[in-house]
Amino acid sequence: MSQNLDSFKLAGLRAGALVEAAAQDSSLVRSAMKFNLWRKSTKLRLKRLFKKATPPTGDLKVLVHIKGGIGDVCMTRVLIKKLREVVPNARIYFAYDHKNIVDMVFSDGLIDEFCSNKYIPESFDLVISGCHLLMYDFINEGRIKKLAPHLWPFIEKGLDVQRCFKPFATYTPYLDGQLAEIAIAHGGSRITNLGWFTGLEVHQNDPAPLALDETMTKRTLDRLGLTKDTYITIHDGINPHTDPTHSDRTRNWPRSYWEQLVKLLKQQFAHIKIVQLGGNTSEPFDFVDLSLVGKTAIADLPHVLKGARLHLDGESGMVHLANLTQTPCVVLFGPSKAAYLGYSRNTNIEAPFCGGCMNITKHWMTHCMLGYPPEKQCLASITPQVVFDAVQNTFKGISR
């Protein structure tokens, strides 16, 4: 693994040097970056002006600040679990845009407290921040060495990797796709990155299951008219931040394909209910047995997924949540890469045509990079029959 990590660091330095060289040739880019850095530092100064830091006392205080969607929060559980093992007496805080999502993903007490994004770094001993790439934003070296000296070598290891990827942090999220390519090429993945950038030992398929209350699961299913293991869930993979009026959503499988797949499933598994999940930006399907689109609270989702025999989806936050409930999934990969985001316990189907364009531009989720219409994009090259066959094979391997 150390050889992979060294090659990963060198690849980051090489790519970062190219980015910096290109940026230095453009006065407009240089000005924009200076303004961005000034904006960030000014924002922090204003926070410190109106809200004074409370220096930490007592146990070590660690803050993890994650940016992104539900899936990014879910994937962080592995890192938090490792932190718990390394510093069991630390108080771990979690900052994110939406408290209800944090409450759902950490309902079993893996973190100690939710924290507003308006925090002052100096109120903690260690602040870890980011998404695909994590950075140590603040380090109270004295207290860490005093209270958890065994943590310090991990921090030094993480800082060494972060140093090699500074331009990636500066230009995030525009280089996330390049970061994914580098990670794959050097034996990494989305969750492995979290370990490499913090110095902690975590890997893509490390378990960090969400301990759900079985009584609450049954109560939730009863309320929704569902019985454990008698249904499968489907989700169209739409990101809640994607413009729902745009017809070119690159991570969505065609609606007609979903309808064909449901017909195949009902012919073969008439006793199995098809339940659709989704938020307010998803389109309800009238051909499923039960559409829960916009009808469930965030807190209901892990219980519904836990009760399902199988979950079908494009690569989305719901897949990463299902992974925490240990529910098997059949996942369709188009713009996203299975080698970077997939789990070995799932059946991952990659588009045979094109694909892998994630994060090439800011609008990769709403505009095909090659200009193909929706019916000819990468996900449309995965046929309903292929997915149906995968479901059949997955059912054969399920012993629940």
pLDDT at 148: 97
Host H or E run for residue 135: strand 134-139
Model pTM above 0.85: yes
Among residues 210, 181, 16, 198, the alpha carbon closest in space to that of 110 is found at: 210
Among residues 334, 356, 322, the alpha carbon closest in space to that of 257 is found at: 334
Surface-to-core class of residue 352, CB atoms within 10 Å of its CB (0-12 exposed, 13-18 middle, 19+ buried) = exposed
CB neighbourhood size of 58 (10 A): 8
**In angstroms, rounded to a whole number, what is the distance separating the alpha carbons of residues 43 and 27?**
24
Q: State the distance between the two ends of the chain, measured CA to CA, in whole angstroms.
A: 35
CA geometry: angle at 103 spanning 331 and 52, to 5°? 125
The identity of residue 375, as a single letter, is E
| Token pair recorded at residue 244 | 């729902």
**In angstroms, rounded to a whole number, what is the distance separating the alpha carbons of residues 64 and 106?**
13
| Token pair recorded at residue 123 | 């109120």
pLDDT at 247: 55
**In angstroms, rounded to a whole number, what is the distance separating the alpha carbons of residues 55 and 124?**
7
pLDDT in tens, 253-306: 999 999 999 999 999 999 999 999 998 778 899 999 999 999 999 999 999 999
Q: Are 148 and 139 in contact (CB under 8 A)?
A: no
pLDDT in tens, 105-158: 999 999 999 999 989 999 999 999 999 999 999 999 999 999 999 999 999 999
Q: Which residues of the chain have pLDDT under 50?
A: 400
| Token pair recorded at residue 318 | 């719901």
